[in-house]
Amino acid sequence: MKRNVMAACLALLAVSVAHASKEAKPFAIAADEFLSTELPLMDSAVQADDSKYFGEAYARMMALISQYGAKIETAPRCADAVIAMIVAGICRTPTPDKQCEDPAFLPRFASNVEQCKQAANAVAPEGPR
């Protein structure tokens, strides 16, 4: 019995440490990593006309935002880039969204992605990434 309780406590501790280390990463770094992973996937999905990608990417985006909650406000350009990523991809498909009619949308998105990368580099403990 004591062995089972000890194992359960150790497992709980491991989960807590893993969760704490995820939260310890500044949102700017997590958002930059997310965008660095997702944007090439999105490019491939757009070229392949793979609309399934956008639903899956939306779920990953929501998971990231849920993980950080109000902390996304610490890096507003990163938050804007992460939130606008799906629409930016849809703007490049054969059936774009109405938001794509704004000629400033895609340049603003690209600027936010770049500013997010700069914000991540500024807070990275090991220096520029």
* 17: Cα separation from own chain's centroid: 21
pLDDT tier at 128, thresholds 50, 70, 90: low
Residues 6+ apart with CB under 8 A from 61: 34, 38, 82, 83, 85, 86
Q: Read off the pLDDT of residues 44-103 as tens digits, 9 standing for 90 and up.
A: 999 999 999 999 999 999 999 999 999 999 999 999 999 999 999 999 988 887 878 899
Using CB atoms within 10 A of its CB, is residue 119 exposed (0-12), middle (13-18) or buried (19+)? Answer: buried
Average pLDDT rounded to a whole number, residues 25-33: 96
**Predicted local confidence at residue 94, as pLDDT:** 85
**Predicted local confidence at residue 124, as pLDDT:** 87
How far is Cα 9 from Cα 52, in angstroms, rounded to an integer? 40
pLDDT tier at 120, thresholds 50, 70, 90: very high
Using CB atoms within 10 A of its CB, is residue 32 exposed (0-12), middle (13-18) or buried (19+)? Answer: buried
Does residue 25 register a pLDDT over 70? yes
